[in-house]
Structure formats: structure tokens, C-alpha cells
């Protein structure tokens, strides 16, 4: 930056840095980077804003919270607990809530931000999955996103365990049982985390250890993953929805500066405003109502935050009788081990493996910068909805006692309903979703081939009546024609009758069957246009102005 374009007060320091770091060229090259404009991309940004708010409010709370399990007698402003013996952690949490100015508001904003952080990550991952945005070259970012969600679950669990109230202690009791159920190493993990027997450990080490993990270890790892996620995304370019001028060679959208920076700054303030309103008017985690933790007591209707509900539901649905075995002197508690590992292992393990499974089955190793419409990948969309149904039913099952009470039905009947529903529901969701996707594909094919109904009735010479059809709008046709043609299956044998290498052996036959299953019902679109996302290039980003204020990044 020269003296002619910068104030004298900053020109010198900028030139000093530029001579040593080359920062000016870096900024000039990146401030015009183009970002596609679509509402669904906001989901990932909301997760980022929530994380920033978590860091800010969490820093405020650390100034007054005392992570100690030392017994004290409460003498604060909340009269109903005066004179009650409790841990210093719980006492300081009450002090923040009732005696620190703005403390309760900050506590509630922090908790609501955690809930929104997890919800926005999940919504963002669903958007990425259903649009195929995880495909080459973005597999690493997909894995990073899943691991951030898993770490967020642990971070939330340890965070709401810190106040040492009755509800959080109940969650820690479940955590202890899950840790102990792991064969061979479970007891060591339990002792390492708790520092001794539940609940306080040998020297009251539990809360201090959870505190260190909650404010240092997991946030540091998440911050590193967020940084890596953003750097990879910046290098690879953002995916885009099918639209005019959009292709794998160029991104059509708004420049990073000033448009995107202004929008993202405003959206951050909107997100903070919504969380502040929730913190001010919507009560969450009222720890003073639960009282200090007592191993011999439990509150009725206890529920964890929504993202841990799936684990709660799995534990409630697993039968207990006949599921505890003793093998070679070791007790294997399948009634805890299976619900703690299998459901989440299926969901998260399957999600991690899916990009590579799909690539192996379809043989599609092309670069994809244009997102799919979910209807154009019916098998993928159906599998995703089956997973959502499985996860959602387990989440509901975690509140089976609340549902039984509110709807006046049998608790055992509710439990048995969910035991069947978690197996039947995903299958029904898969079938229904796939048929809907194929129906929408047929509708698109009809629009591409015959146009849309104009609402005008015409009479033929023979006296018959019919409705006039008109070509669809250009933007609608671009979306319809963005459908990629299904890749032809590799021939089982070549011209000489020799089996193709990819079709040999059991894995070759499995791959062939899976490929046919993914493309068997595909509805072709007539006159499929070229140039709507079929490119393969990865050119340099160069901004070219356009009349609408948007730019093309090549």
C-alpha cells in the first residue's frame, strides 16, 4: 500500500510489514475472493458465530467460577439454599447467577450459544450431505466437521457438569457407567477421569479436571479444527448451488470485501442479539431448582441437552436382563456398552465412511464444485433421511418418561414402541424419501420436455380442450439441467470375454450390485445441457466485475 492510498499514520507501519511479510500482496489477492450467495451457507457461519460467543461468555464466567469440590456452607442471596452444605463449584455458580451483575444473563447466553452451536453444526452437516458437498476434494473438511460435532458433545457434557448440581451429577453418573462398561480399559479410564471413586474422586479432582478439559483442551482442539476447516475451504473455494454462470471453473457471487465482510458482520450481530434475547427471556438450566448433587437423589423428568438425548434414549431402550456377562473374570455390561457405542458408531462412523464408499461404488473421482439437488441423488437422500429418523427416534426415546406422563400412556408401552420404531422407522423413511425424490425427478423431466402449464385453455379444431404449455423460466431450467447423468456401469466382460478388473471377486460383484442399486431408478432429463457444472478445472481466482454487483472468480 502506497502513501497515496493510505493515511500517513498507517502508511509507514504497513510498508514496514509489507517489506518483511509481503502482506499487501496477500490482502490484495484475497479481499476480492468471491463467495456464492445462498441462504443455506449461513448455517456454517452461525456455528462459527456461536463458537465465538461461547469463547467470549466463557471467559467472563471463568472470572468468578471456582472449580473446587471442597465443601462449604452457602450464605448467598438465594435464601432457599442458605445454610445448605455444598461444593464450592456449586456455590460459585449460584454466586454468578444471583450476585454477579449480569452473571445470570451471561450464564444463559453461554448455554444457549452451546445449544445453537451444536444445532447449527448438525444442520450444516445435513446440508453438506444432502447436496453432495462432501465429494472430492472436500472429504477432509467433511471429516473435520463430524469430529467437531463429536467434540462439541463432549464439551457440552463436561460444561453442564461443572456446576455440580443434582442434574449435572446425574449426567456424570451415566458417564461413569459408560466409561466402566468399556472392556479391559474401562476402569482405568474411569479412574483417570474421576481421580478415584465417584463422585468426587480421592482428592476432589473431578471438577478441576473437567474444568481444565472444558476451558482449555477441547476448545483448543475445536479452535484448531475451525481454523483448518476455514483454511481448506478458502483454498478449495466454496461449493455453489446450480445457477447461471456457475461451473467448476468459476464461482459466481459477492467479493469478500466489502460485501461479504459487511454481511457476515451484520449476521454475527443478529446471532448475538438472538442469543441475548434467549438468555434474557428464556430460562435454561436453572441450577438453583435442582440443589447440590446427592448420589442418593434424582430429579424427576431429568433431561440432558438435546444433542446428548440420543445416548439417553439408547440407554433407556436397551433391555437389562441377560445382557451382563462375566468372561474370564471380567464383567461385560452389554446393556450399557451397546447403547453407548453402537448407535453413535453407526451414525458417525457411517457418515465418515460415506464419501469414500460412494466414490468406490460409483467410480466417480471427478472434482465437484456444484452441489447436487437432493432429488437427483435419491439413494443418498434416502439414506440420509433414514439416519435422521434413527437419530430422531433415539432422541425422543430419551424422554420416554416425559412422553408417557404428558400423553397419559404406559411407560412400558412407550418403551416398546420405540424399540420397534428405531428399526422400522428408518426403513419406512428410506422408502418414502426415495419415492418422493423419483417423483420430483419425473416432474423435472416433464418440465424439461414439455414446459410448464400456462393456465390458458385452448380448443382444438376437433372440439377438444387442452392447456397450453410454456417453456420454464431460465433459472428453473438451469437447476433442472444441472442434474448429472448417471455414470454407465463398467462392462462385466471386455470384447474378448475377459472379466473387467473391477468386476472380479466378491468385492467386484458387491460393487457392481451397489452401483446398479444407486442408478437403477434414475430418471434421465432429455436435452441435458452441457456447461452446468460438468467442468473439472481449478483455475486461479480472478475477479471480473459484472453489472449486477456480483463477480466471477475464475
Mutual angle of helices 261-281 and 42-62, in 10-degree steps: 50
Helix H, strand E, coil C: the string for 502-528 is HHCHHHHHHHHHHHHHHHCCCCCCCCC
For residues 122 and 145, what is the distance between their CA atoms, to the nearest angstrom? Answer: 9
In a domain, 220, yes or no: yes
β-bridge mates for residue 186, sequence order: none
Residue 523: band (very low, low, confident or very high) from pLDDT cuts 50, 70, 90: confident
Cell triple for 62: 471463568
- pLDDT of 433 strictly over 50: yes
Q: What is the mean pLDDT of residues 64-70?
A: 93
For residues 16 and 36, what is the distance between their CA atoms, to the nearest angstrom? Answer: 35
pLDDT of residue 103: 95
For residues 124 and 77, what is the distance between their CA atoms, to the nearest angstrom? Answer: 42
Residue 539: band (very low, low, confident or very high) from pLDDT cuts 50, 70, 90: very low
Strand 543-545 relative to strand 551-553: parallel, antiparallel, unpaired?
antiparallel
Which of 390, 420, 415, 413 minimizes the C-alpha distance to 400?
A: 415
In a domain, 161, yes or no: yes
**pLDDT over 70 percentage in the chain:** 86
pLDDT of residue 194: 85
Torsion, Cα of 110, 111, 117, 119 (10° steps): -160
For residues 326 and 428, what is the distance between their CA atoms, to the nearest angstrom? Answer: 38
- pLDDT of 553 strictly over 60: no
Write out pLDDT tens, residues 273-294. Answer: 999 999 999 999 999 999 998 8
**pLDDT over 90 percentage in the chain:** 47
Strand ranges of the sheet holding 543-545, from the earlier edge strand across to the other edge: 34-35, 251-255, 551-553, 543-545
Which of 528, 551, 553 minimizes the C-alpha distance to 539?
A: 553
545 and 397 assigned to the same domain: yes
Helix H, strand E, coil C: the string for 234-274 is HHHCCCECCCCCCCCCCEEEEEHHHHHHHHHHHHHHHHHHH
pLDDT of residue 528: 40
99 and 226 assigned to the same domain: yes
Q: What is the mean pLDDT of the chain?
A: 84
Q: What is the mean pLDDT of residues 375-379?
A: 92
377 and 515 assigned to the same domain: yes
293 and 379 assigned to the same domain: no
Residue 304: band (very low, low, confident or very high) from pLDDT cuts 50, 70, 90: confident
Coil, helix or strand at residue 75: coil
Q: What is the mean pLDDT of residues 106-130?
A: 96
Torsion, Cα of 367, 370, 374, 375 (10° steps): -100
176 and 261 assigned to the same domain: yes
Cα atoms in the Cβ-side hemisphere of radius 13 Å centred on 255: 17
Question: CATH no. for residue 121?
Answer: 1.20.810.10
- pLDDT of 538 strictly over 70: no
Q: What is the mean pLDDT of residues 406-416?
A: 93
94-116 CB burial, b ≥16 within 10 A, e <16: bbbbeebeebbbbbbbbbbbbbb
Write out pLDDT tens, residues 327-355. Answer: 777 778 888 889 988 999 999 999 999 99
271 and 380 assigned to the same domain: no
Contact 248, 484 (CB under 8 A): no
391 and 291 assigned to the same domain: no
Q: What is the mean pLDDT of residues 312-326?
A: 84
pLDDT of residue 543: 42
For residues 497 and 492, what is the distance between their CA atoms, to the nearest angstrom? Answer: 9
Cell triple for 126: 445435513
- pLDDT of 535 strictly over 50: no
In a domain, 132, yes or no: yes
pLDDT of residue 34: 78
User: What is the DSSP track for 105-123?
Assistant: HHHHHHHHHHHHHHHHHHH
Cell triple for 98: 444471583
For residues 203 and 196, what is the distance between their CA atoms, to the nearest angstrom? Answer: 8
- pLDDT of 309 strictly over 50: yes
In a domain, 493, yes or no: no
In a domain, 308, yes or no: no
172 and 291 assigned to the same domain: yes
> Where does 267-410 show beta strands of DSSP type E?
324-327, 330-333
In a domain, 158, yes or no: yes
Contact 226, 151 (CB under 8 A): no
Cis amide leading into 199 (omega within 30)? yes
Residue 4: band (very low, low, confident or very high) from pLDDT cuts 50, 70, 90: very low
pLDDT of residue 541: 45
For residues 274 and 53, what is the distance between their CA atoms, to the nearest angstrom? Answer: 12
Residue 463: band (very low, low, confident or very high) from pLDDT cuts 50, 70, 90: confident
Residue with the larger pLDDT of the pair 445 and 105:
105
β-bridge mates for residue 519, sequence order: none
Sign (positive or negative) of CA dihedral 113, 116, 121, 124 = negative
266 and 398 assigned to the same domain: no
For residues 456 and 362, what is the distance between their CA atoms, to the nearest angstrom? Answer: 44
425 and 290 assigned to the same domain: no
Note down the domain range covering 524: 372-456+466-484+508-554
Contact 153, 118 (CB under 8 A): yes
Residue 494: band (very low, low, confident or very high) from pLDDT cuts 50, 70, 90: low
Residue with the larger pLDDT of the pair 171 and 547:
171
Q: What pTM did the predictor assign? A: 0.86
For residues 417 and 426, what is the distance between their CA atoms, to the nearest angstrom? Answer: 14
DSSP character at residue 552:
E
In a domain, 137, yes or no: yes
Q: What is the mean pLDDT of residues 389-398?
A: 94
Contact 138, 367 (CB under 8 A): no
Residue 246, C-beta contacts closer than 8 angstroms, at least 6 positions apart: 36, 240, 252, 370, 532, 533
Contact 382, 434 (CB under 8 A): yes
Tell which of 297, 315, 333 closes a domain: 297
In which element (H, E) is residue 330 found? strand 330-333
281 and 406 assigned to the same domain: no
In a domain, 3, yes or no: no
Coil, helix or strand at residue 310: helix
Write out pLDDT tens, residues 155-213. Answer: 999 998 999 998 888 888 888 888 888 888 888 888 888 888 887 777 778 899 999 99
Q: How many domains does the chain have?
A: 2
- At residue 483, φ and ψ (nearest 5 deg) are -65, 125
For residues 41 and 39, what is the distance between their CA atoms, to the nearest angstrom? Answer: 5
48 and 155 assigned to the same domain: yes
For residues 286 and 283, what is the distance between their CA atoms, to the nearest angstrom? Answer: 7
* Cell 447436496, located at residue: 131
Write out pLDDT tens, residues 249-273. Answer: 677 777 777 788 888 899 999 999 9
Amino acid at each position: 500500500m502506497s502513501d497515496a492510498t493510505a493515511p500517513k499514520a498507517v502508511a509507514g507501519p504497513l510498508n514496514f510489514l509489507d517489506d518483511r511479510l509481503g502482506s499487501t500482496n496477500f490482502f490484495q489477492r484475497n479481499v476480492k475472493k468471491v463467495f456464492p450467495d445462498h441462504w443455506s451457507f449461513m448455517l456454517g457461519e452461525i456455528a462459527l458465530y456461536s463458537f465465538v460467543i461461547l469463547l467470549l461468555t466463557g471467559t467472563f464466567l471463568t472470572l468468578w467460577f471456582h472449580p473446587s469440590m471442597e465443601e462449604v456452607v452457602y450464605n448467598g442471596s438465594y435464601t432457599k439454599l442458605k445454610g445448605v452444605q455444598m461444593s464450592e463449584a456449586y456455590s460459585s455458580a449460584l454466586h454468578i447467577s444471583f450476585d454477579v451483575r449480569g452473571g445470570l444473563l451471561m450464564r444463559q447466553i453461554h448455554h444457549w450459544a452451546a445449544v445453537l452451536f451444536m444445532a447449527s453444526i448438525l444442520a450444516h452437516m445435513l446440508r453438506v450431505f444432502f447436496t453432495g458437498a462432501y465429494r472430492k476434494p472436500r472429504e477432509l473438511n467433511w471429516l473435520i466437521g463430524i469430529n467437531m460435532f463429536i467434540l462439541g458433545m463432549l464439551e457440552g457434557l463436561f460444561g453442564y457438569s461443572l456446576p455440580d448440581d443434582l442434574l449435572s451429577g446425574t449426567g456424570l453418573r451415566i458417564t461413569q457407567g459408560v466409561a466402566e462398561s468399556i472392556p479391559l480399559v474401562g476402569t482405568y479410564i474411569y479412574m483417570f477421569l474421576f481421580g478415584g471413586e465417584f463422585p468426587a474422586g480421592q482428592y476432589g479432582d473431578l471438577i478441576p479436571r473437567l474444568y481444565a478439559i472444558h476451558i482449555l483442551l477441547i476448545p483448543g482442539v475445536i479452535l484448531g479444527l475451525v481454523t483448518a476447516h476455514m483454511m481448506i475451504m478458502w483454498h478449495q473455494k466454496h461449493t455453489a448451488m446450480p445457477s447461471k454462470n456457475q461451473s467448476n471453473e468459476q464461482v459466481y457471487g459477492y467479493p469478500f470485501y466489502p460485501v461479504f465482510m459487511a454481511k457476515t458482520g451484520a449476521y454475527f450481530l443478529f446471532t448475538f442479539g438472538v442469543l441475548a434475547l434467549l438468555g434474557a427471556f428464556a430460562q435454561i438450566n436453572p441450577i438453583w431448582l435442582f440443589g447440590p448433587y446427592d448420589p442418593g437423589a434424582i430429579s424427576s423428568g431429568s433431561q440432558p441437552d438435546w444433542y446428548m438425548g440420543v445416548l439417553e434414549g439408547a440407554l433407556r431402550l436397551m433391555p437389562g436382563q441377560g445382557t451382563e456377562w462375566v468372561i474370564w473374570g471380567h464383567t461385560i455390561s452389554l446393556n450399557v456398552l451397546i447403547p453407548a457405542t453402537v448407535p453413535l458408531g453407526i451414525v458417525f462412523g457411517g457418515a465418515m465412511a460415506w464419501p469414500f464408499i460412494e466414490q468406490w461404488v460409483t467410480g466417480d473421482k471427478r472434482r465437484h464444485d456444484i452441489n447436487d439437488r437432493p432429488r437427483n441423488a435419491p439413494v443418498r437422500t434416502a439414506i440420509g433421511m433414514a439416519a435422521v429418523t434413527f437419530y430422531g427416534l433415539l432422541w425422543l426415546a430419551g424422554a420416554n418418561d416425559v412422553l408417557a406422563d404428558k400423553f397419559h400412556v404406559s411407560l412400558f408401552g412407550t418403551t416398546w414402541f420405540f424399540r420397534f420404531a428405531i428399526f422400522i422407522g428408518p426403513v419406512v423413511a428410506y422408502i418414502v424419501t426415495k419415492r418422493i425424490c423419483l417423483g420430483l425427478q419425473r416432474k423435472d423431466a416433464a418440465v424439461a420436455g414439455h414446459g410448464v402449464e400456462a393456465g390458458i385453455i385452448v380448443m382444438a379444431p376437433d372440439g377438444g380442450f387442452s392447456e397450453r404449455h410454456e417453456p420454464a423460466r431460465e433459472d428453473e431450467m438451469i437447476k433442472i439441467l444441472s442434474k448429472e447423468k448417471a455414470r454407465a456401469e463398467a462392462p462385466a466382460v471386455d470384447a474378448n470375454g475377459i472379466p473387467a478388473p473391477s468386476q472380479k471377486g466378491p468385492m467386484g460383484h458387491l460393487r457392481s450390485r451397489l452401483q446398479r442399486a444407486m442408478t437403477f431408478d434414475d430418471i434421465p432429463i432429455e436435452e441435458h445441457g452441457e456447461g452446468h457444472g460438468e467442468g473439472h478445472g481449478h483455475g486461479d481466482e480472478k475477479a471480473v466485475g459484472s453489472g449486477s454487483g456480483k463477480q466471477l472468480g475464475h
